[in-house]
C-alpha cells in the first residue's frame, strides 16, 4: 500500500473529523443509482445482532453481570451508568471507573451498550456521556450495521459485482446513519466538560452517604476512553491528575482537531498517562492514518503507549456485537493492567510474545513497553 494513499486517508480523516465538525455537519452521501460495494472481508460491526433487553437486565461475560441506568447529574449533564447488578456481591472490592465518549460525540449513553455492559460486568463502574434512549428507538440506538461505517477511498478496488463503475459512492443515509451522524446542535454532544463533570460526580458519589455507590468506587483509578470523535474527548484528558490511563479507539493521538503536527505535539507535551490506541484496517477505517501519524509523533513521550490496528476491522469496530465482540476483552485486559495492577492481563501487551504481538490479526507498535 503506497504512502501516497495513506496521505489520502489522512486528508480524509482531517476533513471528516476536525473537532466535532464531523458529527455536527456531516456531508451528505452523493446521490447515485449505483450502490457502493464494500470490498469483501470486513468484520460486520453489529453482527450477530444482540437481542434487545431492558436496561435492568443483567448482561456481560464477567463474574458480576451488569445493568445500566440513567443518571442526570445536572442540567444538560446526562450519563448512562453501567455497574454490577448486585453490588452487595462485591464484598470489600471497589470498582475502578471508566468514562466513555461515543463516536460522533453522540449524546446517547447506550449507543455502545454491549461493549460497556461487558466491561462493567468485570467489576467496573462505567459512565457513558449522554441520555438513555428507551422505548421505540432503544433497539435502533443500540444496534448498527455496515451502512453506518464512514467510507474511504479504496486504492485498488476489486471488480464491482454489481457492475458499478464509481468509486466511493454512497447509498442514501439509513435511519441508523442519521442517528450516528446527526446534526444535533451543542450542547447535546459529549464533550470534555461533560466527562469532567462525570468524574467529579463519581468521586462525590463515592463519599455521599445514601448513594448506591457509597464507598464502592476506587476513584484513585479512573480511565477515560472514547471512539472516533469521542477518542479526542478522551485525549483531551492528557495530563489530568485524576485520570490514570487513556483509551483512544478508532482515532489518533492529537490528530483530530487543532493544527496538524502542532496538535500532536501539544498532546504529547501534556501526556502523563499510559495510552492504548487501537484502529481498524486502512481499507475500512478512516482513522487508520490518524493512528499511525499520532504514534509517530509520540516518540519523545515518557509514558507507555500501545498502538495497534486490526486487520479487517471497520471504523465502527465491534462495540455493538454481543458483549462488545473481540474488543471488549482487549479493553478489559488494558484496564485490568492499568487500574488493577493485574500482571496476567499485562501479558496481552508486554513482552516479545505478548498476546496481541503474536495475534496474526493485529499489527502493533509499542513505546516504553518491553
Residue 199, pLDDT score: 98
Residue 37, pLDDT score: 72
Residue 2, pLDDT score: 39
* Mean pLDDT for the stretch of residues 46-67: 96
* Mean pLDDT for the stretch of residues 192-212: 98
> Per residue in 184-200, is it b (16+ CB within 10 Å) or e — as a string?
eeeebbbbbebbbbbbe
Instruction: Give the residue from 80, 136, 145 showing the smallest Cα distance to 113.
Output: 80
C-alpha cell at 268: 504529547
Residues found in the chain: 370
> Across 6-10, 179-183, 279-283, which has the greatest mean pLDDT?
279-283
Which residue bears the cell 441508523?
176
Q: How confident is the model at residue 236 (pLDDT cuts 50, 70, 90)?
A: very high
Residue 255, pLDDT score: 67
Q: What does the angle CA 46 – CA 251 – CA 14 come to, to the nearest 5 degrees? A: 115
Question: What is the spatial distance between Cα 126 and Cα 132, in angstroms, rounded to a whole number?
Answer: 14
Residue 276, pLDDT score: 98
Instruction: Please say if the pLDDT value at position 61 is more than 90.
Output: yes
C-alpha cell at 31: 446521490
pLDDT digits 0-9 by tens, 240-290: 999 999 999 999 998 654 345 668 989 999 999 999 999 999 989 999 999
Integer angstrom CA distances of residue 106 from 17, 23, 109, 353: 14, 8, 8, 37
Instruction: Please confirm whether the linkage preceding 48 is cis (ω < 30° from 0).
Output: yes
pTM: 0.85
> Across 8-12, 21-25, 223-227, which has the greatest mean pLDDT?
223-227
DSSP string, 255-290: -SSSSTHHHHHHHHHH--S-EEEEE--TTT-TTHHH
Residue 180, pLDDT score: 55
Instruction: Please say if the pLDDT value at position 172 is more than 70.
Output: no
* Mean pLDDT for the stretch of residues 188-201: 96
Please give the backbone phi and psi of residue 322, each rounded to the nearest 5 degrees, phi first. -50, 125
Neighbours of 301 (CB within 10 A): 19
Q: Which residue has the higher pLDDT, 20 or 219?
A: 219
Across the chain, what does the average pLDDT equal? Answer: 84
Which residue bears the cell 465538525?
21
Can you name the residues that pair with 98 across neighbouring β-strands? 126, 223
Question: What is the spatial distance between Cα 215 and Cα 203, in angstroms, rounded to a whole number?
Answer: 10
CB–CB of 365/295 below 8 Å? yes
Instruction: Give the residue from 142, 112, 149 showing the smallest Cα distance to 226.
Output: 112
Which residue bears the cell 496538535?
263
Question: Containing H/E element for 334?
Answer: helix 327-340
Residue 26, pLDDT score: 40
pLDDT digits 0-9 by tens, 77-116: 999 999 999 999 999 999 999 999 999 999 999 999 999 9
Please give the backbone phi and psi of residue 310, each rounded to the nearest 5 degrees, phi first. -105, 125
Residue 8, pLDDT score: 34
C-alpha cell at 28: 451528505
Residue 35, pLDDT score: 56
Residue 23, pLDDT score: 36
Residue 336 makes CB contacts below 8 A (sequence gap 6+) with: 122, 342, 345
Q: Which residue has the higher pLDDT, 171 or 229?
A: 229
Q: How confident is the model at residue 349 (pLDDT cuts 50, 70, 90)?
A: very high
CB–CB of 311/282 below 8 Å? no
> Strand order in 66-74's β-sheet?
66-74, 77-84, 125-129, 95-101, 217-227, 245-249, 275-279, 305-310, 362-367
Instruction: Please say if the pLDDT value at position 161 is more than 70.
Output: no
Can you name the residues that pair with 67 across neighbouring β-strands? 83
Instruction: Give the residue from 144, 146, 180, 143 showing the smallest Cα distance to 37.
Output: 146
Q: What kind of fold does domain 3-27+38-154+176-367 have according to CATH?
A: Rossmann fold (3.40.50)
C-alpha cell at 330: 482487549
Instruction: Please say if the pLDDT value at position 3 is more than 80.
Output: no
Residue 46, pLDDT score: 93
Instruction: Please say if the pLDDT value at position 32 is more than 50.
Output: no
DSSP 207: H
Neighbours of 110 (CB within 10 A): 23
Residue 145, pLDDT score: 87
Q: How confident is the model at residue 21 (pLDDT cuts 50, 70, 90)?
A: very low
pLDDT digits 0-9 by tens, 327-338: 999 999 999 999
Instruction: Give the residue from 34, 59, 94 showing the smallest Cα distance to 214.
Output: 94
Amino acid at each position: 500500500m503506497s504512502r501516497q494513499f495513506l496521505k489520502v486517508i489522512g486528508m480524509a480523516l482531517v476533513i471528516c473529523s476536525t473537532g466535532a465538525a464531523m458529527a455536527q455537519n456531516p456531508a451528505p452521501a452523493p446521490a447515485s443509482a449505483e450502490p457502493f460495494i464494500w470490498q469483501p472481508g470486513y468484520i460486520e460491526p453489529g453482527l450477530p445482532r444482540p437481542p434487545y433487553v431492558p436496561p435492568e437486565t443483567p448482561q456481560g461475560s464477567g463474574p458480576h453481570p451488569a445493568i445500566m441506568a440513567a443518571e442526570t447529574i445536572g442540567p444538560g449533564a446526562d450519563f448512562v451508568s453501567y455497574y454490577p447488578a448486585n453490588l452487595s456481591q462485591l464484598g470489600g472490592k471497589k470498582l475502578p471507573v471508566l468514562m466513555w465518549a461515543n463516536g460522533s460525540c453522540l449524546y446517547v449513553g447506550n449507543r455502545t451498550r454491549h461493549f460497556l455492559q461487558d466491561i462493567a460486568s468485570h467489576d467496573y463502574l462505567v459512565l457513558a456521556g449522554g441520555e438513555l434512549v428507551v422505548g421505540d428507538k432503544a433497539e435502533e440506538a443500540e444496534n448498527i450495521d455496515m451502512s453506518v461505517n464512514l467510507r474511504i477511498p479504496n486504492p485498488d478496488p476489486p471488480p464491482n459485482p454489481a457492475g458499478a463503475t464509481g468509486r466511493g459512492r454512497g447509498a442514501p443515509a439509513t435511519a441508523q446513519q442519521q442517528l450516528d451522524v446527526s446534526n444535533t446542535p451543542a450542547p447535546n454532544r459529549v464533550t470534555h466538560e461533560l466527562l469532567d463533570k462525570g468524574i467529579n460526580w463519581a468521586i462525590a458519589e463515592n463519599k455521599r452517604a445514601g448513594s448506591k455507590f457509597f464507598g464502592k468506587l476506587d476513584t484513585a483509578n479512573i480511565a477515560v476512553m472514547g471512539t472516533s470523535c469521542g477518542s479526542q474527548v478522551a485525549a483531551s484528558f492528557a495530563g489530568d491528575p485524576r485520570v490514570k490511563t487513556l483509551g483512544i479507539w478508532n482515532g489518533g493521538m492529537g490528530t483530530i482537531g487543532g493544527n496538524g503536527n502542532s496538535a500532536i505535539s501539544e498532546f504529547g507535551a501534556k501526556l502523563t498517562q499510559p495510552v492504548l490506541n487501537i484502529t481498524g484496517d486502512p481499507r475500512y477505517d478512516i482513522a487508520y492514518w490518524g493512528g499511525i501519524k499520532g504514534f509517530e509523533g509520540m516518540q519523545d513521550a515518557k509514558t507507555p503507549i500501545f498502538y495497534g490496528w486490526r486487520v479487517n476491522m471497520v471504523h465502527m469496530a465491534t462495540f455493538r456485537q454481543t458483549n462488545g465482540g473481540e474488543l471488549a476483552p482487549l479493553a478489559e485486559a488494558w484496564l485490568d493492567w492499568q487500574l488493577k495492577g493485574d500482571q496476567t492481563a499485562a501479558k496481552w501487551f508486554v513482552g516479545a510474545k505478548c498476546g496481541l504481538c503474536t495475534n496474526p490479526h493485529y499489527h502493533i507498535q509499542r513505546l516504553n513497553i518491553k
